[in-house]
Amino acid sequence: MAAFHQRVFSGVQPTGNLHLGNYLGAIKRFVELQAQHECVYCVVDLHAITVWQEPEELTRNIREVTAAFIACGIDPKKHIVFNQSQVSGHAELAWVFNCIARLGWLNRMTQFKEKAGKDRENASVGLYAYPSLMAADILVYRATQVPVGEDQKQHLELCRDIAQKFNNDYGKRISDLGFGDAYFPLTEPLISGPATRVMSLRDGTKKMSKSEPSDNSRINLTDDADTIAQKFRKAKTDPLPLPSTIKEMEERPEADNLIGIYAALADKTAEDVLKEFGGAQFSKFKEALTELAVAKLGPIGAEMKRLTADPAHIDAVLADGSARARVIANQTMKDVGKIVGFVGSSS
Ligand code: AMP
Ligand code: TRP
């Protein structure tokens, strides 16, 4: 396949309660990738409204995710930070992809099944078509790599299927127009490290999530030191001391989760952490974990507060990012229009 310009893209929904899972599974990786890659990071407000959002709260949450990006170390001058609704190419390409993706493909999506629950008849059409919009987010920038948590793996496979089918269906047009043998890259997911799936602090078999009613199930990026300490103290564990080997950890989801969190925060492997704490009591380990989490998250929370106090500055960052994103997305939509055969797309 043709060689593609390397570009990283990822998105986070502005749906409140940004937590340690979002940080370790996604945002921390976004920050690291900046050194070697051209990155586009998006606050996906169009995705958020696939379930009902109070308008004032949505506005606040868009600014809060933007503040979190910046507070965690994303540089919006060197890279692109913006909100999805302001670049019309996302919704336009999503429509084209709705006509490429098959019902059978979307019917297999587990996130839809989980979010729609039993009352599927009453879920929005947007929630069902969500993965097609997600593919458009990525491919409107023809992004080659996407850092995400484990829960997004299936959506990224669908993104590749859509790219492949588009490249095949329009193969002749794509090559006749001089785009080579493929217009869209088969995007690679970047899912790695010790915390690609951070679990609830109350139940090691459930994902840490923004929408879980119990706030004690997650560490929020804006939690203060006392709250972090209290939540880790209350975190569910089993009665045994910490395991000493990865094998022993496998049957112990809560231990596995806390060790993974420690490893990710300390930039170590789970093996390293077990070497240090294997055989120790949970109470001792939880103290070390709290100290580490407060040291890493405290400055982020403080910076988020400082940034959200000045919404005009955040809005200016988003406006600037949107303008730069639009340049790339508009070019893609021109190319796609030509490939598909729309009149008016050639100028
Ligand atoms: P969302 O909050 O659904 O918009 O997710 C934003 C990013 O955080 C995505 O890349 C998710 O895969 C990642 N993420 C969400 N929850 C977790 C979790 N519990 N563990 C690891 N990554 C997560
Ligand atoms: N679906 C992702 C989530 O819920 C958010 C998202 C939307 C995304 N578009 C994206 C992630 C494109 C990566 C790339 O977490």
Distance in Å, CA 238 to ligand 2 centroid: 34
180 by DSSP, 3-state: which? coil
Asked if 23 and 95 sit in the same domain, the reply is yes
Asked if 60 and 73 sit in the same domain, the reply is yes
Asked if 116 and 230 sit in the same domain, the reply is no
Q: Is residue 332 part of a domain?
A: yes
Instruction: For residue 220, give the H/E element and its range.
Output: none
Question: Which amino acid residue places its CA nearest to atom 8 of ligand 1?
Answer: 22
b/e code 176-188 from CB counts within 10 Å (16+ = b): eeebeebbbbebe
Domain that holds residue 233: 215-306
> Does 12 sit in the ligand 1 pocket, CB within 6 Å?
yes
Asked if 179 and 246 sit in the same domain, the reply is no
CA gap 34, 11 in Å, rounded: 15
209 by DSSP, 3-state: which? coil
Mind listing the pLDDT tens digit of every residue in the chain (347 residues)?
Answer: 668 999 999 999 999 989 999 999 999 999 999 999 999 999 999 999 999 999 999 999 999 999 999 999 999 999 999 999 999 999 999 999 999 999 999 999 999 999 999 999 999 999 999 999 999 999 999 999 999 999 999 999 999 999 999 999 999 999 999 999 999 999 999 999 899 999 999 999 999 999 999 999 999 999 999 999 999 999 999 999 999 999 999 899 999 999 999 999 999 999 999 999 999 999 999 999 999 999 999 999 999 999 999 999 999 999 999 999 999 999 999 999 999 999 998 65
Query: How many domains in the chain?
Result: 2
Asked if 56 and 126 sit in the same domain, the reply is yes
Is the pTM for the entire model greater than 0.85? yes
b/e code 149-164 from CB counts within 10 Å (16+ = b): bbbbebbbebbbbbbe
Q: Is residue 89 part of a domain?
A: yes
Question: Which amino acid residue places its CA nearest to atom 13 of ligand 2?
Answer: 10
Asked if 95 and 78 sit in the same domain, the reply is yes
Contact between residue 262 and residue 288 where contact means Cβ atoms under 8 Å apart? yes
Asked if 46 and 172 sit in the same domain, the reply is yes
